[in-house]
Every structure is written in structure tokens, then in C-alpha cells.
Amino acid sequence: MARHLRSAAGKDALPDHDSLVRYIRRWESGKVVTMTERYRLLYGRVFSRDPRMLFADCGDNEIDGEREEVDLTNRRDALKLGLATTVSQVLGEAAYEAMEFTRRAGTTAVGRATLDHLHNAVNDITGSYSRRAPAELFTVARFHRRKVDQLIAGPHTLKEERELYVCAGWLSETLAWLAHDLGDPLAGQAYALDCYEHADQAGHDELCAWAADVMASIALHAGQPERAVRAAERGLRRVSAGHPLEVRLHAQVSRGHARLGDHDAFDASFRQGDRLWNALPACTPRRPDGLDTGPLAAYAMTTYTASSYLWLGDYEQARRHAERAIQAHEATPIGHRSASREAIAHLDLATAMACLGSATDAVQQGLRALATPRMVASVHARATALDNVLTTRFPGTSHAAEFRAALAATEQVGATP
């Protein structure tokens, strides 16, 4: 009560705490008959009542014994009742507050059924990346990514928020690859960064590493090998030891160094990735979309390495790794094969053969690549590079002319939405 009175007094000076407690005890016990107007007003503020409702209008010497006793009793009862009413009111409000806190904690516009539908949609989109036309799938994935953003902005529980962030991350990862396929590195990097941020907020280290993987690929194809190396190394700090994605990220680092012409750094990164690749178990984990991560590691250690040796000028090693890459793709079930990566493997093999002097074999492999149902930007760029090699090494020959005519007849699939 002393603390309440001091609070009601504000900046006005009051006796020290112990003295004020003694006053209150004497007032409530009836040992002191009078109370100054100042304290009556303070009591009125504390209990939010008119002081006249709490105290009788009594004087020092004008009250007879019987009236004094009645007033003292009324005053004691009023003080005790006022205090009890205030505490009861506070406790009642506190209980309501607690109920409201609990209600808000469970308030959501999402729900389990919505999340289940969303997970199914995300898995279907990410799982159909290699089977559907990039422009068509980009539109679908972008629509769902916007829907997830709307759910994140609305009411949901903390547990639901993490699931929504993870769904947003997987969709942005797919959108990053699709933007890359459609020839827009700026949009691709933007979605890759969005994937990393949402995965990081959700505490999903593996998804952060997948985001770094796509960042590295986009940066490399955009002519930024230093940035590709940094992105892959960023992913290596988040991926679990022994995961196939760790192998893939080492392959990303190695081909970034190869593009920079640093043979020693390439060799160190390649050896590290190769050691981890050989240590992978026969049964490797799957991504949420059902894609086996083992073949993804194999593609990286063969296709990426073939490209690396081409940039380093070691064409025999490039040929050997390109052949291994094609074998790895052909060993993968049809429904899980990546047509674009397989086409790049054939183009790398064709380039290595051309540089080794075999124009006929080079054109044969190049034409197989051009027959891909997924002529995305990266495939078209690699085919253009092969055309330049054929024109330079075999100028005016039918081989070079045949490939150039076939390349001119192809059109890059899709247009940026």
C-alpha cells in the first residue's frame, strides 16, 4: 500500500518507506482517528474512487465517541474492501491477459491441412524441375512462392513459421535454377540469396548449402569464378560432413579455381572432393522432392571436372571425365535424369575430342547434345563454345559447317517471364 501511495504521489515528497508503512498500519487499525486531506486524495487515486466514498467527513474534536467508532469501522472496512477489490480486479485482468496470450500463440490462418497441401505442391514443383519446360515451371513456382509469402505475412504459429520459411526456401532454390536456365543470372542470384536467407532464418543448414550450390553455378556461368568459389565455400560451412552435397560443393570450388587458371588450387579441391566421393555410402539421402543426392555428387565430380580440365587445357583428362559423366547420367533412371546436365557432358566430350583432333567424333557428340529436350541457356552457351572450337580448329570443313547449321536451327527454350 505504501508503494501504491508513493506511486500516486508522483514527484510529491512522502515520508520514507518504513514511516509510511507505520502510518498505514495505524490508519487501518483505528489507532489514529484523523487522516489529512492529502492522504485521502492519494488513497482516492490508488483505488480510483472519490475520497468521500472511502472516508467520512470527520473533524478532530467534533466527533462523539459513538460516531467516531462507526467512522473508524467504516474507514477500516472501506480501506480493506478497496484494497481487496483492486487486487481482485488486477488478478481478473491478469487471468484474461494470460488467456489472450495463449489464444494469440495459437492463432493462425495456416493450419496443418494448408501446410500439407503446400508441402505437396513444393515437392511436385521441385521434383519436376528436369521434366517441365523452364518458362512454364517458373510461372507455377513463382505463383506458389508468392502464396507462401502471403502466409508468412499473415497470422501463424511459431512452428508454422519455420515450415513456411523452409517451403519458401525450396521454392526460391528452384526459381533460382529456372532463372539460370532462362538466361537471367540477376534473377537467379536474387532467388538463390532469398533461399539462403529463409533457410538461415529457419535454421535449415542443408538448405543453406543447396542455396550456396546454385549461387556458385550461376556465378561461374556469369563469368564470376571468384564469386563462385566464395559461394561454394560458404555452403561448405553449413553442410553436414559426409553428405553428398559436401562432395558437390568441393567440385564447385575446384571448377571455380580451374576457371581462374589456378591448377594447384583446383587439384587440392578436386582431391578433397574425390576422397569424400569415394567414401559415400551406397545408400545416400534424398532431398524433400525425392531426388537422390548420390547421383548429384557423381554429376559434379565428373561433369564439373571435365569442364575444369578443358579450361586448364588438359584435354585427355577432360575426355576421360566427360565419358564418366555420360555413363553416370545413363545409369540414372529416366525419370531422375537431368537432360541439360547430360547435354553439357556430351558437349564437354565433343570439345575435348575436337581439341584432340577428332572432328568427326566431336560433331557426333555435339549433335547428340543439340537433340536435348532441354536447350537451356547454359547448354546453348556451351554449344556456342564448341562451335567456336570447331570453326577455329577445322575452318572451312564440312564438320564445322554441319554443327553450325544444327546449332542455328535450335532455339533456346523459353523466354524470361
Residue range 297-346, pLDDT digits in tens:
999 999 999 999 999 999 999 999 999 999 988 888 776 778 889 999 99
CA neighbor of 262 nearest in space, from 224, 226, 303, 299:
226
Taking residues 216-241, report their average pLDDT.
Answer: 97
Using an 8 Å Cβ cutoff, are 276 and 247 in contact?
Answer: yes
Say what the pLDDT of residue 416 is.
35
pLDDT above 50 (res 73) = yes
Q: Are 95 and 375 in contact (CB under 8 A)?
A: no
Give dist(CA 366, CA 364) in Å, integer.
5
Please tell me which residue, 388 or 70, carries the higher pLDDT value. 388
Amino acid at 148: V
* 346 contacts 321 by C-beta, under 8 angstroms: no
Within 10 angstroms of residue 320's Cβ, the number of other Cβ atoms is 17
Tell me the C-alpha distance between 67 and 73, whole Å. 10
- Per-residue pLDDT at 18 exceeds 70: yes
Contact call for residues 133 and 180 (beta carbons, < 8 A): no
The pLDDT of residue 88:
59
More confident residue, 253 or 36: 253
Q: Write the single-letter amino acid at 55.
A: F
Strand partners, 292: 286
Nearest to 416 by CA among 231, 190, 246, 239: 190
Range with the poorest average pLDDT among 85-94, 188-197, 334-343: 85-94
What is the average pLDDT across 75-88? 58
At a CB cut-off of 8 Å and minimum separation 6, what does 330 contact? Answer: none
| C-alpha to C-alpha distances, 93 to 67, 97, 100, nearest whole angstrom | 38, 6, 10
Average pLDDT of the chain is 86
Contact (CB, 8 A) for 299 and 322: no
DSSP string, 198-241: HHHHTT-HHHHHHHHHHHHHHHHHTT-HHHHHHHHHHHHTTSPT
Nearest to 169 by CA among 213, 135, 131: 213
pLDDT of 65 > 60? The answer is: no
Quick check: 72 pLDDT over 80? no
Predicted local distance difference test score (pLDDT) of residue 91 = 64
pLDDT at position 415 is 34
pLDDT at 183 over 60: yes
pLDDT at 372 over 70: yes
Predicted pLDDT of residue 189? 97
Q: Are 365 and 354 in contact (CB under 8 A)?
A: no
Closest residue by Cα to residue 363 from 396, 399, 310: 399
Taking only the tens place, the pLDDT of each residue in 100-137 is 666 666 667 788 888 888 998 898 898 888 888 999 99
